[in-house]
A and B are shown apart, each in its own frame.
Chain A
Amino acid sequence: MSDLDELYQSVILDHDRSPRNFRELAGPACRAAEGYNPLCGDKVRVMVRVEDGVIADASFLGSGCAISKASASMMTETLKGQTVAEANRLVERFHRELTGGPAEGDLPRKLVVFRGVTAFPMRVKCATLAWHAMRQALEPATAPDAT
């Protein structure tokens, strides 16, 4: 498989064409954060509903390339049902995977497709954009005393 095939695997193209959880999420238990890459103009807004420390729902909206959309789409799928602490760990884990940091623990199987992005250093920010936003959206929950 060429690097390009590795990057644009069918699962990524599928999530780009039909992004999951691509909708507004609003309500009392909802939090949102925006990710913006001023270099390319890509914008993503991620939203989560946290109930009893668990992510009950997650969604996103925005415009971006196939990599950033698929990454946001699969992120929302993966995070649903996780505790905030688990989600934060996964956000860090995903970031390390793509930036070549020390990897501890396994990446969920469905996210392994994003390893192909590491062959394209100029595109890593596309894949991590939504995850950076998610880290922000989850922040208040990890430090409830600060609010």
Chain B
Amino acid sequence: MIRRGLVTQPLDRITPPPALDESRVRADFPILDRPVGDHRLVYLDSAATAQKPRAVIDAMSDFYFRYNANVHRGVHVLGGEATAAYDRARELVRQFLNVPRVDEVVFTAGTTAAINLVAQSWGGASLRSGDEIILTGYEHHSNLVPWQLAAHRAGALLRVVPLLADGTLDLEAYERLLSGRTRMVAVSHASNVLGTISPVAQMARMAHEVGALVLVDGAQSAPHLPVDVQQLNCDFFACSAHKCYGPTGFGVLYGRQELLRRMPPWIAGGGMIEQVTFDATTYAAPPARFEAGTPAVAQAIGFGAAIEYLQQLGLDAVWAHEQALLRYATDRLSEVEGLRLFGNAPMKVGVLSFVLGTIHPHDLATVLDAGGVAVRAGHHCAQPLMQHLKVPATVRASFGVYNTRDDVDRLVEGLAEARQRFGR
């Protein structure tokens, strides 16, 4: 059972969700069997991309082995099977995000492409000089640069919601930024660096009061908690398959139908038309209007399999597992001398960004990697946030369904070794 509304009321839970069976979940991910050097792989980089369960790998192989064909075109058997599986994937996405109508699910090349689609199509048609777009201080470049481009073209302005010391959004400042000039609020559902979960439903209510639309970048939330776009009350929601245990190069955009219908085409070509002559073209209704070209059929099927896998585990159980791990890891890391953790919001996904003493994050990540512990080091495509934190980079450990307390212990051991090696 997936309980909705978790995001705003996590503490109201009364019945504990069924726990994940750790060893069974781990057995679902073949890659976890490979060693790294002499060590068992400890994969703590799921915020960059999640590993893939056998169910996803098999679903995609099965497509290529047995029924590879283009969709919505030929009349042959293979084409029919491929089309049925492809269309079913859209329905699975609809359920996954609790989208009202299946034609409100647009397939894209990922979160980045989904945001660019809205920024260019909606932004190009709707933004005027003097309009304002509100972003937050922890946006990933992919929910910042597309808006800069759109704003620059239209003569519109970007406004940024500042962060409080714990890594949450300053909602009073947000309220002051909202005005009749605000046309769009583009916000991460969860920060890829701090883990902070944004109070999206509340922010959307406030945005709608001034007539602005809300786009939610769900790249870091969709794999970790039950998403309900109706409960979030957002106008657009974007997420990527590969962070949800599915394939790379694929993602989705949810958009309210009356908005999508008014948006002009973005990329033009086959599959997005109604009728074409050399003089004029009429365009297909959404979502086809935004899906020119042969679609990523195998990836759609793979994402469908990933969604079924997550639903089988239960997103409630996933959330509970990762939250317990986050608490454990936060405690363990706070015991490490010289470790500075960034972001201690009360509502976080399983992301821990930190620096250790004066050891540069890249050196730290290299030492950890030599012990089989894979973490991310760098600016995490959030340079404005790094400027705010006054660090050039951080190390980031992030969790997926397959991580365990033992993984956290291995991370802490690696940190101790790094301290010893660098003597600081």
Contact = CB atoms under 8 A, between A and B. Distances in A.
A4 B379 contact: no
A65 B360 contact: yes
Contacts of A120: 366
A39 interface: yes
B367 interface: yes
A50 B363 CA distance: 33
A4 B392 contact: no
Contact of B386 (A2, A4, A41): A41
B192 to A, nearest CB: 15
A51 interface: no
Given A40-B362, A40-B379, A65-B363, A4 B370 contact: yes
Given A64-B360, A65-B360, A66-B360, A41 B366 contact: no
A126 B370 contact: no
| A7, A13, A39, A41: residue with the most chain B Cβ atoms closer than 10 Å | A41
A43 B379 CA distance: 13
B390 to A, nearest CB: 11
Interface string A49-78: 000000000000001111100000000000
A53 to B, nearest CB: 36
A42 B367 CA distance: 18
Interface in B334-392: 359-363, 366-367, 370, 377-379, 383, 386, 392
Interface string A93-110: 000000000000000000
Interface residues on A, range: 20 to 34
Interface in B285-342: none
Contacts, number: 48
A46 to B, nearest CB: 18
Given A42-B393, A65-B360, A66-B422, 17 more contacts: A7-B366, A8-B363, A8-B421, A13-B423, A17-B424, A40-B362, A41-B378, A41-B383, A41-B392, A63-B392, A65-B361, A65-B363, A66-B363, A67-B362, A122-B366, A123-B366, A126-B362
7 contacts: A8-B363, A40-B362, A40-B378, A41-B378, A66-B363, A67-B362, A67-B363
Contact of A39 (B359, B360, B367, B378): B378
A3 interface: yes
| A4, A17, A120: residue with the most chain B Cβ atoms closer than 10 Å | A4
A71 to B, nearest CB: 13
Interface string A112-127: 0000000010110010
A68 to B, nearest CB: 8
Which 4 A-B residue pairs are closest in the complex by CB-CB distance? A65-B360, A65-B362, A4-B370, A41-B379
Contacts of B386: 41
| A2, A7, A66: residue with the most chain B Cβ atoms closer than 10 Å | A66
Interface string A67-92: 10000000000000000000000000
Nearest to B383: A41
Contacts of A4: 366-367, 370, 421
Contacts of B423: 13
Contact of B377 (A13, A17, A40, A63): A40
Contacts of B392: 41-43, 63
A64 B362 CA distance: 9
